[in-house]
Structure 1
Amino acid sequence: MRQIILIIGGNIGDRLSLITQAKQLLDEKIGKVSLISSLYETEAWGGVSKGNYLNQILILESELSAEEVLDKALQIEKILGRQRDIKWGNRTMDIDILYYGDQIIDTPNLKIPHPYLHLRRFVLEPLAEIVPDFIHPILKLTSTALLKNCEDDSIVKIIGEKP
Structure 2
Amino acid sequence: MARCLIALGGNLCGSESLFQRAIQLLDAGGDRVLAVSRNFETRAVGEEAGGGFLNAAAVLESAAGPFELLERLQAIESECGRERLLRWGPRTLDLDLLLFGDSVQWESRLILPHPAMWLRRFVLSSAVAVAGDMWHPQLGQSIDQLWRQLCTSELMVSVNLSAELVKAEDFAGFLEQPMLHGAVCFQRPDTAVEADVNWFARLDLRRADLRNPPWSYPEAYPGARTLVLFVRSPENAIEQLRQTATAITG
Q: TM-score, normalised by structure 2?
A: 0.59
> Match for residue 249 of structure 2?
153
Match runs of 1:9-88 below 5 Å = 9-88=9-88
State the AA in 1 paired with 2:44: A
Whether the 8 Å contact between 2:131 and 2:143 is mirrored in structure 1 is yes
Matched residue of 1:48: which SS? Answer: helix
Answer yes or no: is the 8 Å Cα contact 1:30–1:69 preserved in 2: no
Distance change in 2, residues 1:102/1:93 (3 Å): same
- Distance in 2 of aligned mates of 1:106 and 1:30: 26
1: CA distance, partners of 2:73 / 2:25: 9
Deviates more, 1:130-139 or 1:105-114: 130-139
Q: Aligned pair count?
A: 154
What SS is found at the alignment partner of 1:19? helix
RMSD: 1.4
Alpha-carbon separation, structure 1, partners of 2:111 and 2:139: 14
Q: Which runs of 5+ in 1 are unaligned?
A: 155-163
Deviations 1:96-152 (A, max 9, x none): 000001111111100010111012101111112222232211111221221233361
Q: Conserved in 1, the CA contact under 8 Å of 2:125 and 2:147?
A: yes
Q: Give per-residue Cα distances to partners, 1:58-94, cap 9 Å, x unaligned.
A: 1111100100001111111011111111112100000
Residue identity matched to 1:139: L
3-state SS of paired residue (1:44): coil
Structure 1 or 2, whichever has the larger Rg, is 2
Equivalents in 1 of 2:64, 2:118: separation in Å?
25
3-state SS of the aligned residue for 2:99? strand
Determine the C-alpha separation between the residues in 1 that align with 2:149 and 2:118.
Answer: 9
Contact 2:59–2:131 (CA under 8 A) maintained in structure 1: no
With over 3 angstroms needed to count, the CA separation of the structure-2 counterparts of 1:133 and 1:60, relative to structure 1, is: closer
Runs of 4+ in 1 over 6 A off after TM superposition: none
Taking the aligned partners of 2:44 and 2:139, their CA distance within structure 1 comes to 25
Stretch moving more, 143-152 or 65-74: 143-152
Letter in 2 for 1:76: I
Aligned equivalent of 2:217: none
How far apart, in 1, do the equivalents of 2:46 and 2:136 lie? 22
Q: Does the C-alpha gap of structure 1 residues 149 and 43 become closer, same or farther in structure 2, counting only changes over 3 Å?
A: same
SS at match of 1:89: coil
Superposed, which structure 2 residues align to 1:99-118 within 5 Å?
A: 99-118=99-118
Answer yes or no: is the 8 Å Cα contact 1:99–1:113 preserved in 2: yes
Q: Is the 2:49–2:90 Cα contact (8 Å) retained in structure 1?
A: yes
Q: Which residue of 2 aligns with 1:94?
A: 94
* Percentage of identical aligned residues: 35
Higher relative CO (Cα under 8 Å, sequence separation at least 6) belongs to: 1
